[in-house]
Structure 1
Amino acid sequence: MANRVEDRLSQELFEELLQERFVQLSTVDFKTGGPNVSALSWVHAKDEFTILFAVDNRSRIIQNIARQPIVALNIIANETSYSIGGRASVQGEASSLIPINLTIIKLEIEEVRDIMFYGAKIVSEPKFNKTYDEEAAKKLDEQVLTELKKH
């Protein structure tokens, strides 16, 4: 049903966010004050009120949330599109065991909105392939997911 609003993740949405997913994060750009949209895949639902994600230490996302912590995360799942809004904060750096420098960010959920327009459903969810070494990608993804689960 379109326009449903909750204050937490539903069980089925929570489960979707326990695996690597294509999501989009909207922040307020620290320089322009305008919108900034980023694609992410390293996301993990800690509980029904919290989502963790990892970004490169050089990501503009870090500066954006330092200045304006209100963000929206968009996910397409369960035949619909959701906007998950709340406040984001830096939780710290990822372990030195991970071969790239990552920052862990926590999103404290304030609202989950079904934003699909009336009378429609998603018939095919976004999929992606890693374009670098498949074994290296799998290993890195496992390391990052393990790191997110620690926070």
Structure 2
Amino acid sequence: MANLVEPKLIKPLYDELQKERFVTLATIDYETGGPNVSAISWILAKDEGTLYFAVDNRSRIIQNIGENNQVVINLIANESTYSIQGTAYIKEERLQDVPLKLALIEVSINEVRDVMFYGSKIVSEVKYDKTYDKDAAARLDKQVMDAMKKA
């Protein structure tokens, strides 16, 4: 059976991307021309065809997107693994109403591909824990997600 390919997010993926969650982001490294993978959690589906994510505006991700705007976001959800390929650009160099200097990146989705290997499903999704002040982390997470929703 061939893996499914969609031009935009299916509803279960859109719903999962309405809150902070762990994903990996692949960009093309601006120095080496090779792949670069980062873990991020501030991500939001603005609509079925658009993703927003926030990263420190000094991040290598920003430099990579500046040189080559093709990105892939890997999402584990809906009992499967998805590769979300798109074109990224810096929507805001400094996300408003957030104490950190974060850039807001917009990704226009080109395709969503179910890349789970045949005959299997995800039975447990990735979980993580903030290792610093949990109250401060929760406040910051809320500020970032709220700012992305307003953008």
Shorter-chain TM band: over 0.9
Within a 5 Å distance, the mapping from 1:27-38 to structure 2 comes to: 27-38=27-38
- Counterpart of 1:72 in structure 2 is 72
Distance of 1:124 and 1:4 partners within structure 2 = 21
Over the aligned positions, Cα root-mean-square deviation in angstroms equals 0.9
Structure 2 unaligned residues grouped into runs of 5+ = none
C-alpha displacement of 1:150: 1.5
Matched-pair identity in %: 57
Give me the TM-score of the superposition, normalised by structure 2.
0.97
1:35-92 residue CA offsets vs partner (Å, 9 max, x unmatched)? 0000000000000000000000110000101110011000000110000001000001
Aligned residues: 150
Instruction: Give the Cα–Cα distance (whole angstroms) in 2 for the partners of residues 71 and 14 of structure 1.
Output: 18
Question: How far apart in 2 are the matches of 1:50 and 1:16?
Answer: 14
| Amino acid across the alignment from 1:16 | E
| Structure 1 unaligned regions, length at least 5 | none
TM-score (norm 1): 0.97
1:115 aligns with 2:119: no
The SS at the match of 2:100 is: coil
- Please state how far the C-alpha of 1:98 moved relative to its aligned partner: 1.5
Alignment deviations for residues 81-116 of structure 1 (CA, whole Å, 9 cap, x no partner): 000001000001111x31211000001000000000
Q: CA deviation at 1:2?
A: 5.7
